[in-house]
Every structure is written in C-alpha cells, then in structure tokens.
Structure 1
C-alpha cells in the first residue's frame, strides 16, 4: 500500500478519554473469583483518545472532541494526547472526575474491561466550534463511550458536509435509525455486530453481514486473530487475514485498527475497487497486530513506519 499523501488526511474524533488502571494476571477472574495480579500500571486510554493517537501515528492530522474532569488524571490524559500531536482545542474540562477504565490482562493477552465514564458522560451536546472541525474533516470517527446525542449530532453534521462518517459501535448497544442512517462505514466485532443488528449472538458471519447491510452501506467486521470481513451494498465481500504475531496485550489493538482504517480509507478517497479495499483492510490489520505486540493502550499504538513494516512482512507483493 502506498503511503503517499497521508499527511493531507484530516480526522476528527468525537469520543472518550480514560485513564486505564491495568493489572496483568495469569487468568481472568470468573464471577465471584479473586485472582492475584502483578503491579498496577496507569496508562492513558479511552477508545476515543486511543483512536485519535492511532490516527496521528498513522499519518493524519487529528482534532479530538471530548471531555476530562478536574483531577490529576486529566493532566495525564491531556499530556498524552498533546505529546502525540493531537489537536486539543475541542477538549473541554468539566466538574468531577475523569473517565477511568479498570482492565485485567491475562497470559493469553485477552482482557476484561470495565469503564467508569466520569467526564465522558458529560459530553451530551456539541457546539458551533465542534461543528466547524467536523465539517472540515475528511473523516469523522466516533465510538459509543460518550452519550449518543453527541455522537448522532456529530454524525449528522459530517454526513451533511460530505465528511466520511466512521462509527466503531463499541461498547455494544442498540442504535437509533437516525444515527445509522448517517453512518458511511460501521466497524464492529461479532458481539457488537449482533447487538447492533438485533440478532442472536451465535448468528453466522454471512448472516451478520446481511443484517448490518440493511442498516448501513459498508461494514467492517473484526474477528481478532482471524482477521476481518468486509461487505458493502455494491455487492463486494472480502475476507482479510490478520498478520501472525505473538500477542502480548490486545487492549488497544481494536483502536489501532480503527484509527489506521480511518486514515487509510480517507487516503484512498473511499475505495471501491476490491484490490484497494483489500489494501486498506490489510494495512489496518497490520496496525492492530503491531499494537498487540506491546503492553498497554495508547503506549502500544504503532507508528506509520511500524505499520508499513509489518504490512510488508505479512502481505508481500506477488513476484
């Protein structure tokens, strides 16, 4: 995949910023079970903030629309985003605590995450300055760790302005039709897909894609180590394998994937040819895999050079 022109891509993220409290443990606890873990680590995270950092490291300019509280965690969250090069002029400070995520990671790199929204829950509406950055962007990237009214408002602005609207529907919840109507590209895992589509969790992949295409024009269905599936209303369906790696921590791998996907999709100007869509999905898979090779959330997000390197190793050009 060519990297030319990536610096011209402008992404706006409307989403959450959390401080992750992370403990590694040999096995994840079952209900009612106590397990011993290693030392506690505090790492800036949140799906929105992670995807904003991922987008910058993948080569984009990025504005972040979100909220932090009036506490020491807010200082860490702001500093992390600023150091990454994210534009923070639309990050507001609200009374009370910042968002916090409690994360346990086991020896197989699987995780359990519980989020206390804190300041993220106060992002219930957006203003004129927020609208201006959304309308000026190539891609609007949203998730569901902030209130739905703000997400729907931003998505409507984006659709009306011709900004590509990408929704990572996580955490999973049923979504109103007026939001789905203005989504250009939906990114979900299998659990999220079933919830959004309103079907049984055991529904097979093809039926999941069919159900989602009744709601949105394009779907990327992530399958972890099994890669991704893509489907659109033009009839294109693709399966892309993930790079083979030794995973250490998958906490932010999905955010790395989604941030890189947004950048690559914008760079390709909304690809429709199978080869171009495949290249975009492979590059995003390389980003997610590169992230999973390191512990942590925002600290593990890969640079463009690291993504390019794993992409080249994993998907060599035919001779």
Structure 2
C-alpha cells in the first residue's frame, strides 16, 4: 500500500533568535536566546501530517554539515519515510528566524541542499509519489521541480496540494493542477498580480479569482482572521481559533500538513480546513515550528 501523503519540498535547520522586537533597518538589538531547531516548509508539513497519524514520505535533500542531523531529527521521530531524502555535498538549508515578543517573526531562508531537489529527484521517487493519496508541494525548492512533481502526481490521479509559499509567481498551467491551491493573502496577491484589500470578503474574492484560473479548489489563510475557501463555484469560511500566541513560526505549515492528512483520510475540503485551523492554533501556543505541532492524541483548541 502507498503512503497517505508524500511531501516534495525543503528540509532546513531553523536558527531562532528571540528578541523583544525586530530591529529596524540599520539597527542592532540584543537578543535573549538562540536555538537551532528542525524546519523547512516541506519537512514542517511532513511532520505535521505524520504526527496526526498519516503515513508520510518525504522527497528532499540535506547537506553534509552538522545541521543535517538537526533537520532530520523530528522527521525521524514522527515516522516519516526518508528513503528519498538525499545527502548532497554542501550545507543543509538554513532559515534564520527573528522572533519578537509579540509572537511575530521575520525569516531569511538560504536554500542550501534544497536547490539539489531536481526533477530527477522526483523521478527517482516515482513509485512513492504516484502511489500516494495526496502530494504536497511548496516553493522552497526549484520551481521546475514543483511543476514536474505536480504534473507527475496529477497525471497519476494523486491529489495535488500546492502551497505557493514563499510567495512566487507560478504559471497558470501549474496552478491548474492544484486541488487545493493554498496561499495566504500576500501569496494570493502575487499570483493575481494586484494587491488585496484586508478582510474575509476580499480574500473570498481572491479565492474565486484564483479558481477562475483553473485551480479545482482554493484555500486562502488569513492568520488571526481565519481561512476562506472556494470550490465547485461556492465560497466558505472558518474563523480562527482564539489562543494565546507565543510563536507563529510554522503555523501555516501546520495548517497545510493537517489539511493534507485530513484530505488523505477522505474528509471534504471544508471540514479538513476547519480541522487544520485548530491544529495551526495549537502550534502557535508553543515555541518553534515542528516541536510545536500536536500529536493525534493531543487535545486541540
């Protein structure tokens, strides 16, 4: 039997710097702490899905430096199949996260080994990819690889969850393979080529516009304002779950991983999104990305 979810994407180490507030341009501030944690959007989403009980395989790459062990630690403990995570010469991907006292963050990502996740890497994992129920993709690996994996999965009848993060302009022929296309407001604006007004109504309009470009379904995440969706010509929304926020790092990935796990289990998209908002809410109450993700037995807010 195949995996519930296969994630083709980035594997990073996250250097998290805790500060009272993020520095202004040219300013130096003192930090309270620095810690290195596993991260990368692909790995985050894989861990989130696996901790919720999905059978997950990862396609990606790490380097030959000490960060590789950190990057793979929680993937391993969550039971993710790492058969197709290659080790390549050079550094592992690295994200430097500046985390302010209000829980908001600024992130700089250096791709490192993630640049070596090529279409050939996807072809080497063909049997795993085409045997899954859901294929999850993001934009922290080369976009040509994203497009190749999406086509391969789609043509095999595998549901493609395409998370266009970080924000980038993907071609419409790739967007049309998504079911769902998952974006936040900034990513939606870049794909559409125009700014969005704030609020749920504007996000619903953006979701409908993106669906008009051919995506079978669209989900727009709005952080504290919740999530909206569009499928089969109809719109829906869910409010965010109110919690005390400690760290928003990786919350979007928690949402995507939970969404993938629920879709693989057969839940309708709207119900899967409601579940994913609860998982994302749980994640922001704890420090870090992967370490904050709940297990299937954990209570959710």
For this structure pair, what is the TM-score category when the shorter chain's length is used for normalisation? Answer: over 0.9
Q: TM-score, normalised by structure 2?
A: 0.94
Q: 1:157 maps to what in 2?
A: 152
Q: 2:221 maps to what in 1?
A: 222
Cα distance between partner residues in 2 of 1:106 and 1:60: 33
- Alpha carbons 2:122, 2:145 under 8 Å: kept: no
Cα distance between partner residues in 1 of 2:159 and 2:6: 10
The answer on 1:96 being equivalent to 2:93 is no
Return the match for 2:242 from 228, 241, 244.
244
Cα separation, partners in 2 of 1:75 and 1:242, compared to 1, 3 Å:
same
Cα separation, partners in 2 of 1:258 and 1:127, compared to 1, 3 Å:
closer
Return the match for 2:206 from 205, 208, 216.
208
1:79, distance to aligned residue in structure 2 (A): 2.9
Q: TM-score, normalised by structure 1?
A: 0.89
Counterpart of 1:167 in 2: which secondary structure? Answer: strand
Q: Mind listing any 5+ residue stretches in structure 1 that lack a counterpart? A: 1-6, 272-276, 315-319
Cα separation, partners in 2 of 1:80 and 1:211, compared to 1, 3 Å:
same
- Alpha carbons 1:56, 1:84 under 8 Å: kept: yes
The answer on 1:169 being equivalent to 2:169 is no
Counterpart of 1:59 in 2: which secondary structure? Answer: coil
- Residues 286-311 of structure 1 show CA distances to partners (whole Å, capped at 9, x for unaligned) of 100001010011111111222xx32x
201-210 or 215-224, which deviates more: 201-210
Q: 1:295 maps to what in 2?
A: 287
Cα distance between partner residues in 1 of 2:225 and 2:21: 22
1:150, distance to aligned residue in structure 2 (A): 1.1
Q: 1:43 maps to what in 2?
A: 37
- Residues 226-249 of structure 1 show CA distances to partners (whole Å, capped at 9, x for unaligned) of 1100112x1221110111100100
- Alpha carbons 2:38, 2:72 under 8 Å: kept: no
The answer on 1:141 being equivalent to 2:136 is yes
Return the match for 2:276 from 261, 281, 284.
284
Counterpart of 2:59 in 1: which secondary structure? Answer: strand
Cα separation, partners in 2 of 1:128 and 1:173, compared to 1, 3 Å:
closer
Cα separation, partners in 2 of 1:239 and 1:99, compared to 1, 3 Å:
same
- Alpha carbons 1:131, 1:154 under 8 Å: kept: no
The answer on 1:83 being equivalent to 2:56 is no
- Alpha carbons 2:137, 2:146 under 8 Å: kept: yes
Cα distance between partner residues in 2 of 1:194 and 1:33: 30
1:202, distance to aligned residue in structure 2 (A): 3.7
1:108, distance to aligned residue in structure 2 (A): 1.2
5 Å matches for 1:266-277?
A: 266-268=264-266, 271=268, 277=269
Cα distance between partner residues in 2 of 1:127 and 1:13: 11
Give the aligned length.
296
Counterpart of 1:104 in 2: which secondary structure? Answer: strand
Q: Which ranges of 4 or more aligned residues in structure 1 deviate by more than 3 Å?
A: none
- Alpha carbons 2:4, 2:55 under 8 Å: kept: yes
1:284, distance to aligned residue in structure 2 (A): 0.3
1:163, distance to aligned residue in structure 2 (A): 0.5
- Alpha carbons 1:51, 1:259 under 8 Å: kept: yes
Cα distance between partner residues in 1 of 2:71 and 2:237: 36
1:183, distance to aligned residue in structure 2 (A): 1.4
1:208, distance to aligned residue in structure 2 (A): 1.3
Q: CA RMSD in A?
A: 1.7
Q: 1:113 maps to what in 2?
A: 107
